[in-house]
Amino acid sequence: MSSLPSQLSARIQAVTGADPELRPATKPQFGHFQSNVALRLSKAQGRPPREVAASIVEALDVADLCETPEIAGPGFINFRLRSDVLAAAVTAQLHDPHAGIAQATSPSTIVIDYSAPNAAKQMHVGHLRSTIIGDCFNRVLSAQGHRVIAQNHIGDWGRQFGMLIEQALDEGFSLDGAGFDELDLAGAEQLYKRANAHLKADQQFADRARERVVLLQAGDPQTRAMWQRLVELSKRGFDATYARMGVRLGPGDYAGESTYNEALPAVCEDLESRGIAVVDQGALVVFVDGFDAPAILRNSQGGYGYDVTDIAAVRHRVADLGAGRLIYVVGSEQTYHFNLVFGVCRKAGYLPSGVRAQHVGYGMVLGADGKKLSTREGTASLLNDLLDQAEEHATPAIALAAIKYADLSNSLQKDYVFDPERMTQTTGDTGPYLQYAHARVSQILRRAREEAEAAGGVPARSAAPEVSVLAQAPEQQLALWLTRFGEAVDEVAEELTPHKLCTYLFELATIYSSFYENCPVLRSQGQVRASRLGLCAATRQVLAKGLELLGIEAPERM
């Protein structure tokens, strides 16, 4: 089912041969949509725009969708949808299990790389943003019917494990459980700090840590087993955080850096044998046009690092997972890294031209003082800090809504100030305000049902709600805005701009308020009342669906 504006667009395009670029009308008296296509065509046709507009209107057959189109000003064409058509569209949307979100005609496999914290360290605020944003992309693209594969590229490999394991051994940890059984992620972070201090102070320890890295890479069983325990307990810590955040990421989504260990020599060999990689100052590297520094596949000591791991990951995601689109939600400071990795992969053919690869960066979270937030000293994780702060002002579900909405409602690249008091308000452009709007409309529907039941009438539940009368301007405005939900979701999926969904929903709540103030629902009668209840039901459906796409709970009561 294509939306009303796109059906209308297609009709106009068939007559003019040009995209009508339909825009929402700026004022109610201009109808619902406006096109400037006549102005654009007039030059080529050598005729005045109003004349061109007149012949378009003459040739156009849209009587089943619109009132007669009107020509305005210098040659704009204004369209007003027929209210019966609009009413039928809202009713159809209300009965659509996807709430008007168009299902992809050819679904593709989309890999989203997000969250990606580092083992033996708690998630910092950047990982939290990545988790919230990635979760939203996952939900939006899944809702369109795509197959989304989340890949949690955790930092579970590298030199830091040498010192972590040596420190653990020094402190009497053993594989039969001693030490490890009591260690949680916060404890592992403390171990990390002690290991780091030890490393700086004790040359002998530093040497042992270095030898331990060699053992780890060589697959020494005891070393590997200790590494495994550290990674497992880190994952348990991350999973607890994901559960508290209500995100979809889980144990099945881990594909940490170590996943690619086996593939790295083969990637190097492949690229070297095809002359794509070259040896430069003892290191194996790939130069890409437009980049100052090359990507490093293998350093001069024979070690593999971050670049080559991501190159192997791209290859795996495209060749083995069948990805048609790759999305990376990682802080903006890694833009260069990803562009370079994509450049290498294009050159190598790991990333064919038909596969889109996108890095979505994001700005910083600032404290009230306008400075970058950083973890307080101590064991409290930053997520807990932030949630605790927000929970000083609201219940857990509301606090979470507040944080997620604050993360998603600005353009992602912007920094934003973490202001728990403002974010948890139920007025203004906040998550709790949208939750409250949902609870309010739920309450009206609940009352209508109770009244019907008390009157012994047909339980409202079994009578399919229907929108049939759109006589008042606020009713029409609400209906029109509801039918645009699908487009809003499509735009977010295409541009990866969650703030546009937030804006859409905030606008919906505002339009609904004005409908509610001007058009009595429970106090009206007969078909008008039924139709207004239908509008309420459609509003609730879209608010609930929209909040779900943002990862925010939609409470029935607040």
Q: What tokens appear for 34 in the block?
A: 């406006």
Instruction: List 360's β-bridge partners, or say none.
Output: 329
Considering the complex, state which of residue 124 and residue 438 has its C-beta at the smaller distance from ligand ARG.
Answer: 124
Q: At its nearest, how many Å lie between ligand ARG and the CB of residue 207?
A: 27
- Closer to ligand ARG by Cβ: residue 129 or 153: 153
Cα 135 from Cα 57, distance rounded (Å):
45
**What is the H or E stretch that residue 217 is in?**
helix 203-218
| Shortest distance in whole angstroms from residue 313 CB to ligand ARG | 6
Structure tokens at 442: 């739920």
CB 148 within 8 A of CB 179: no
Query: What is the smallest separation between the CB atom of 111 and ligand ARG, expressed in angstroms?
Result: 10
| β-bridge mates for residue 118, sequence order | 155
User: By C-beta, is 127 or 208 nearer to ligand ARG?
Assistant: 127
Quick one: CA dihedral 299, 302, 306, 310, positive or negative?
positive
Whose Cβ is closer to ligand ARG: residue 25's or residue 125's? 125
Q: Which is nearer to ligand ARG, 139 or 153 (CB)?
A: 153
* Min separation Cβ 267 and ligand ARG, Å: 15
Q: Which residues contact 130 (CB under 8 A, 6 or more apart)?
A: 114, 115, 116, 329, 330, 331, 362
Other Cβ atoms within 10 Å of 336 Cβ, number: 13
CB of residue 411 to ligand ARG, shortest distance in Å: 21
CB of 307 to ligand ARG, least distance (A): 9
Taking the complex as a whole, the smallest distance from the CB of residue 152 to ligand ARG amounts, in Å, to 9
CA distance 100 to 97: 8
Give 215 or 264: the residue with its C-beta nearer to ligand ARG.
264
Annotate 429-449 with b (16+ C-beta within 10 A) or e (fewer).
bbbbbbbbbbbbbbebbeebe
Partners of 326 in the beta sheet?
Answer: 111, 357
d(CA 256, CA 115): 11
Min. distance of Cβ 536 from ligand ARG in angstroms?
Answer: 43
Residues in contact with 519: Cβ distance below 8 Å, sequence separation at least 6, in sequence order:
472, 474, 475, 532
The crossing angle, in degrees rounded to 10, of helices 335-348 and 306-319 is 50
- Considering the complex, state which of residue 31 and residue 155 has its C-beta at the smaller distance from ligand ARG: 155
| Shortest distance, position 301 Cβ to ligand ARG, whole Å | 22
Cα–Cα distance for residue pair 196/128, rounded to 1 Å: 25
CA-based end-to-end distance of the chain: 35
3-state DSSP helix/strand/coil % of the chain, to nearest 5: 55, 10, 35
State which residue, 254 or 328, has the beta carbon closest to ligand ARG: 328
Residue 390 CB, shortest distance to ligand ARG, in Å, is 24
Beta-bridged to residue 23, according to DSSP, are 34
Return the number of the residue (22 or 312) whose C-beta is nearest ligand ARG: 312
Min dist CB 118 to ligand ARG, Å, is 5
Task: Tell me whether residue 118 or residue 223 sits nearer to ligand ARG (CB atom).
Answer: 118
Q: How far is the CB of 256 from ligand ARG (least distance, A)?
A: 9
Please identify, using beta-carbon distances, which residue of 333 and 556 lies nearer to ligand ARG. Answer: 333
Q: Which residues bind ligand ARG (CB under 6 A)?
A: 113, 116, 118, 153, 155, 310, 313, 328, 330
Question: Positive or negative CA dihedral for 44, 47, 50, 56?
Answer: negative
Sign of CA dihedral 246, 251, 253, 259: positive
Q: How far is the CB of 157 from ligand ARG (least distance, A)?
A: 10
- As separate numbers, helices (DSSP H) first and strands (DSSP E) second, the chain gives 20, 13
State how far the alpha carbon of 81 is from the alpha carbons of 8, 62, 402, 434, in Å. Answer: 9, 10, 37, 28
Between 5 and 158, whose beta carbon lies closer to ligand ARG? 158
- Least Å from the CB of residue 117 to ligand ARG: 6
Chain centroid to CA 79 = 34
Of 113 and 553, which CB lies nearer to ligand ARG in the complex structure?
113
Nearer to ligand ARG (CB atom), residue 325 or residue 484: 325
**Nearest to 268, CA basis, from 286, 281, 293:** 286
Give the Cα-Cα-Cα angle 144, 146, 149 (nearest 5 degrees). Answer: 130
